[in-house]
Amino acid sequence: MRSIFNYSFIVILFVICNIASSEKLRKDAIKVHFICHSHCDAGWLNTFEEYYGMYVNNVLTGTTKQLKENKNRKFVWSEIGYLDRWWKVASQELRDDFTTFVKNGQIELINGGWVQNDEACPTVDAVIRHLTDGHKFIIEHFGEEYLPTSGWQIDPFGHSTLTATVQAQMGYKHVILDRIHFEAKNQLKKDADLQFMWRGSQALGPKSDILAHVLDDFYIAPYPFHFEFPMGKPNEENVREMNKLAYNRRPYFKSPHILLPLGGDFNYRNAPLWYRNLDPMVETMTKDYADGRSNVTVAYSTLKEFFEETKQWHQENQVAFNYYSNDFFPYADKEKSYWTGYYTTRPELKGLTRSIGSKLRSAEIFSSYQTKQDFSGTIQDASYNCSILQHHDAITGTAREPVVRDYSVRLRYAETQLNGVLQSAMSNFAAELLQMNLQLQAIPDYPETEYLALSKSDTFKTLMIANSLSWQRDDIYTVRIKYNLPENTLLDQSAPLKVCPFSVAEDTSANLIKGDCSLRKEKRLDVNQVVEYIQIDFPVSIPAMGLRSYFISWSNPKVLSKMNMVYETSAVKYNTISNRDYSYTFSTLGYLQSITELSTGLKTNVSHKIIEYTDDGGSYMFLSNQPPKEQVGAMTIQYYPGSFKRDLILTNSSMVVSLSILNTNDITLNKRLHYEYAVKGIDNLQQMVRFQTSLNTTHMYSDNGLELQKRSVAADINQPQNSLYPSISIAMVQDEHSLVTFGCVGDRSKAAGSMHNGELEFALHRSLTKDDSKGLDVPARDNSWIRVKSHCQLGHGSRVMRSIRADALKLDHPLRGYYVSGINSTSQTAKFSGLNRALPENIHVLSMEKVSDQMYKIRLHNIWEYGSPTQVDIKNLFHFRASGNSLHIIKEYNLNNQVSYTANDDIHTQYIHTNTTILKKDQQYISSVPSRYTPILSPNVISLHPLEIKSFSIKIEN
């Protein structure tokens, strides 16, 4: 009987608590919002599957059961990848209960991504994709009304403005941040500025605004409220400590609402213990507040409730939030503890993630042009594995070695799936649209080197080159061929080649293509051998979002070859290499020294160096207390002065540096310096590339995957780790007066910085023999051989800014080759473009997804950072069927391509903000252009502001 009375009393108290939670607070009162959570890494010390079996299953099952016992208990969940994994095996009763709790508000889905992504390494495509993968699950199982309105980025090691930009355009109103520089966090606490209006992009203006909340301490529950294990403290003591915490933290915020994370890594495995300790505290403190004995009340809460009550207080009291428009890099948790190493750690994994993400986009696009097979399931499966790699201990390289191997296995599995999709899809639409029965085999690319084999019996080999980008690609394409000379050849195998044994044609053998041909002896340090092959370099023109066939055959001795024989030399004549537009000078070691633009005669010193920092850090931290040493050892020089492509190759015992300079009629090709670095990780060193220019610079720029961020030149060259920043793709310096700009794009994320006026440097590789005591507990020793590609250019700022993002996309999404069978004659040619007309040079098809044979979802992206809006007419733009079919926009979405585009303007109509910036406390002009809501107004024409991404579906009208 007594137990029944106690149970009834508890129920009454919880009803009181629930009522009190929605009442207006008394003056001088404080409300602590209990946010019960479990931070579940998608791999770190253990793999994704190991963590699921060890912890996550228990967390989700146990918490669901505990919420069923008491309707006032609440919980928030972030990682949808783990929820999907649990959903597949959980009982129907558990799934039903979980669904009930989502819909009645006991469980709030926050962040909503497949993982909690890192913010220094993923591309904008990858961030959008993993969030979309999570949103699809939420919509399918609960409904779009339960999509998150709050981000939860509590563990990434620094915060990017890209987070604000993307989440704001996915319907989020708020975001929780945590790891910012310790001095900045202390200042924000002192100024009561832990909540502020965060603008992600100056170009996108209000579209990128979101209310940010920085945790005042950390995401792990503070002592003595960490109840994963028995704490042994009576409720009275817990209540006293909670009151003390509330009063101590109240000065950090303008409002009396305090968010308290209660949880930690894989917490709530013992969910009953948590709630048995929290329930009495909630009961006691709620009753004490209701009776007037205390000015502190607490409640189980969600982020939605916390922000609603915070917003209400700010509105009623007319208290404004201050403003911020920068990012939070680099992150330091204490003095001399800068987390700038992970920008570069495990570069092979970073490169592989980028490469296979590109194939994922290509597979979606090319599979959309055929109707024979449905590849959506295979593509979605590959997408899940790519999304897991965006986790903040995955692409960062900050997991243990077995976990890194598991990530690589996932990526390779996804690559196999995507190669299969691409091969089948292109064969299918060749049959449908080109009336050709073809079978394609993908040519391996990153990180392998592919050698085409031609035997004596081969008349010719057909090569299909595919271009997934939305612009025609004119370029110089390279094929490496291992061969045995046919018996009927006139070439002497014992003498130097005087005539190229191969020809390239685009249709018939009589229509030969001019190109370069050279016999190469390449020292492959990764396999410790010299590889001999013939390299042919020839111009190609590949249609936008399309493909084209080329034929490689044995040269006919009776027909004059159009291939120019190129012979190796060990010296660059007069230390100068030139093309039609530029002249480049080199040191005796073979490194670039200067660039001269021939049309103006303007010469700029650009000294290329390989430098090495001693590195006493670990996976997360880069730690060096002295300037770097320049790699000055003797290099073996090989130079191939081709007509279309000049190759300079420098080799020593630990590195190969290759530079290609093109010579075409296109200045956009001629301006690029195509660098490739074959480099091995050396213990306790961070190897970097440095360009010392004669430009007068006080800043450098690196990008967040969407736009450039302005960075200061280093204040202390003896502490280089303090002045390194993440570069997703781009790093550049610009003269303050002339605006002449030198910039480089890279094929993976890395650290970049500027230690002196005029300098630009970026990282290649690092290997550590020490741990940095940040939780991994083992050093990230990485002696792998990798190949890193970087394209650099010099030009006026406006010209560089108009082309550098497109250059980055061309490096991310290279021309990809396929061997073709099914073409029996060189008179059978294949050529296809997915576009019926050219798109503007600044409009990029970010993604294209087939919904049905008549409907497609598309994201278009204006890649320029400034300028007027660009108009795109989509009528008859895409070549899905025969030309002439009409295309109409039928629906516009937010960035997740799932939910209708809405104003989502609560951020401006319900939150007041000032022009005062946090931290610096200066006044900043805050643009109101473009407006937050700019819907598509025409069924055929789209207007895109600079950097804007528009998501919409189109329908084919026959």
Which pLDDT score is estimated for 882? Answer: 46
Beta carbons within 8 Å of 319's beta carbon, 6+ residues apart: 254, 255, 313, 912
Contact (CB, 8 A) for 344 and 780 = no
Lowest mean pLDDT among 48-62, 447-461, 576-590, 903-917: 447-461
Q: Which of 209, 204, 210 is nearest to 947 (CA)?
A: 204
Query: What are the DSSP calls for 215-228, one per residue?
Result: -SS-SSPPTT--TT
> Which residue spans within 863-912 are E strands per DSSP?
870-873, 886-893
- pLDDT band of 1, cuts 50, 70, 90: very low
Cα 451–chain centre separation: 30
As a whole number of angstroms, the distance between CA 765 and CA 346 comes to 8
Contact (CB, 8 A) for 565 and 498 = yes
First to last CA, the chain: 75
Give the model confidence (pLDDT) of 895-935 as tens digits. Answer: 999 999 998 887 788 889 999 999 999 999 999 999 999 99
The question of whether 155 is a catalytic residue gets the answer yes
The amino acid that residue 468 corresponds to is S
Give the model confidence (pLDDT) of 28-76 as tens digits. Answer: 999 999 999 999 999 999 999 999 999 999 999 999 999 999 999 999 9
Give the model confidence (pLDDT) of 530-541 as tens digits. Answer: 889 999 999 999
Beta carbons within 8 Å of 481's beta carbon, 6+ residues apart: 451, 452, 453, 454, 502, 533, 534, 535, 536, 552
Cis peptide before 224 (omega within 30 of 0): yes
Contact (CB, 8 A) for 644 and 360 = no
The amino acid that residue 518 corresponds to is S
Asked whether the predicted pLDDT for residue 120 surpasses 80, the reply is yes
569: number of Cβ within 10 Å: 12
Buried b (16+ CB within 10 A) or exposed e, 76-104: bbbbbbbbbbbbeebeeebeebbeebbee
Which pLDDT score is estimated for 485? Answer: 55
As a whole number of angstroms, the distance between CA 443 and CA 489 comes to 28
As a whole number of angstroms, the distance between CA 126 and CA 129 comes to 5
As a whole number of angstroms, the distance between CA 602 and CA 582 comes to 10
Which 3 state secondary structure label does DSSP give 796?
strand
Q: Which two tokens stand for residue 661?
A: 């300079």
324: number of Cβ within 10 Å: 21
As a whole number of angstroms, the distance between CA 648 and CA 587 comes to 12
Task: Write out the CATH class of domain 347-438.
Answer: mainly alpha
Going by CATH, does the domain composed of 573-812 fall within 2.70.98.30? yes
- Triad 352, 355, 359: Cα angle to 5°: 130
Q: Which two tokens stand for residue 23?
A: 């009442």
Contact (CB, 8 A) for 282 and 299 = yes
As a whole number of angstroms, the distance between CA 832 and CA 430 comes to 8
Give the model confidence (pLDDT) of 382-423 as tens digits. Answer: 999 999 999 999 999 999 999 999 999 999 999 999 999 999
As a whole number of angstroms, the distance between CA 542 and CA 270 comes to 59
Give the model confidence (pLDDT) of 347-392 as tens digits. Answer: 999 999 999 999 999 999 999 999 999 999 999 999 999 999 999 9
Most distant pair of Cα atoms in the chain: their distance: 108
Among residues 41, 97, 125, 155, the one annotated as catalytic is: 155
> Which residue spans within 684-838 are E strands per DSSP?
685-693, 699-703, 708-712, 724-727, 730-734, 740-746, 750-753, 759-767, 785-796, 816-821, 831-833
As a whole number of angstroms, the distance between CA 23 and CA 556 comes to 90
Going by CATH, does the domain composed of 2-324 fall within 3.90.25.10? no
Report which secondary-structure segment, H or E, holds 351. Answer: helix 347-367
Average pLDDT, the chain: 93
Mean local confidence (pLDDT), 553-580: 86
* Residue corresponding to tokens 């007027």: 868
Report which secondary-structure segment, H or E, holds 415. Answer: helix 401-433
Asked whether the predicted pLDDT for residue 11 surpasses 50, the reply is no
**Domain regions of the chain by residue span:** 2-324, 347-438, 452-543+551-567+816-821, 573-812, 843-957
146: number of Cβ within 10 Å: 18
Domains 452-543+551-567+816-821 and 573-812 share a fold: no
Mean local confidence (pLDDT), 81-89: 99
CATH number attached to the domain at 843-957: 2.60.40
**pTM for the predicted model, two decimal places:** 0.95
Mean local confidence (pLDDT), 590-616: 97
Give the model confidence (pLDDT) of 694-727 as tens digits. Answer: 999 999 999 999 999 999 999 999 999 999 999 9
- pLDDT band of 491, cuts 50, 70, 90: very low
Lowest mean pLDDT among 4-13, 129-138, 662-671, 709-718: 4-13
Which 3 state secondary structure label does DSSP give 910?
coil
- Triad 224, 228, 232: Cα angle to 5°: 50
Higher pLDDT, 246 or 371: 246
Contact (CB, 8 A) for 138 and 112 = yes
Beta carbons within 8 Å of 2's beta carbon, 6+ residues apart: none
Query: What are the DSSP calls for 800-813, one per residue?
Result: HHHHHHHHHHHHHS
Asked whether the predicted pLDDT for residue 494 surpasses 80, the reply is no
As a whole number of angstroms, the distance between CA 577 and CA 599 comes to 16
- Return the CATH architecture of domain 452-543+551-567+816-821: Sandwich (2.60)
Give the model confidence (pLDDT) of 786-845 as tens digits. Answer: 999 999 999 999 999 999 999 999 999 999 999 998 777 666 788 999 999 999 999 999
Question: Strand pairing of 529-542 and 576-578?
Answer: unpaired
Q: Which of 681, 173, 185, 111 is nearest to 392 (CA)?
A: 111
